[in-house]
């Protein structure tokens, strides 16, 4: 049931992943789920770059070097985390948004549509037993130095995926009644 799937979706972080690889066919299914997100005027702004193997290690090295370059007081634990987390994932999907060249809709709607595509990916991962996590590091603004981005394309974050042997904790929410005004 979709409601149960929504309630069971969790952030599963790279440190929780085991070494089991994710099949290309499973990644393709996850990306196909993303492709069915709604978008105003059918602009379909989501773009994805899949990283596996060596490209994950290269991403980690890029992020750590960029962090050390930009932070006047880089912290050793953060440098290590930036290097190691990408290598722990079964795959990483760089989540990008391609701005409609005619700008027929506001940019925030394109970002929202891309976020809905990520939610579809997250729900698909949950159904398939694959842990996932959307990371939006401050270093994201430098990703045009790592990826060959098209004009009007920007990277919005990284969708980490991996299998986990850990029991994923139950999540709670404050009551919806606290967040709704009936008029």
Per the annotation, binding residues for FMN are 9-11, 40, 134-136
| Residue of 153, 144, 40, 140 whose CA lies nearest to 99 | 153
**CA Rg, the chain, in Å?**
17
- How many CB atoms are closer than 10 A to CB 134? 17
Per the annotation, binding residues are 9-11, 40, 134-136
Q: Which residues of 91-107 are buried (b: 16+ CB within 10 A; e: fewer)?
A: bbbbbbbbbbeeeebee
How far apart CA 114 and CA 70 sit, in angstroms, is 28
Cβ neighbors of 124 (< 8 A, separation 6 or more) are 29, 30, 33, 34
């Amino acid at each position: 049931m979709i409601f149960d799937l929504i309630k069971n979706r969790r952030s599963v972080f790279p440190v929780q992943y085991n070494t089991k690889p994710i099949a290309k066919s499973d990644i393709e299914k996850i990306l196909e789920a993303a492709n069915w997100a709604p978008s105003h005027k059918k602009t379909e702004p989501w773009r994805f770059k899949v990283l596996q193997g060596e490209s994950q290690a290269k991403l980690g090295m890029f992020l750590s070097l960029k962090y050390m370059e930009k932070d006047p007081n880089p912290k050793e634990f953060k440098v290590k985390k930036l290097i190691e987390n990408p290598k722990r994932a079964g795959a990483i999907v760089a989540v990008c948004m391609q701005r409609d060249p005619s700008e027929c809709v506001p940019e925030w709607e394109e970002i929202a549509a891309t976020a809905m595509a990520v939610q579809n990916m997250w729900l698909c991962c949950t159904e398939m037993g694959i842990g996932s996590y959307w990371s939006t590091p401050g270093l994201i603004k430098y990703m045009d130095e790592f990826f060959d981005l098209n004009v009007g394309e920007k990277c919005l974050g990284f969708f980490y995926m991996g299998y986990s042997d850990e029991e994923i904790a139950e999540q709670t929410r404050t009551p919806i009644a606290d967040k709704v005004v009936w008029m």
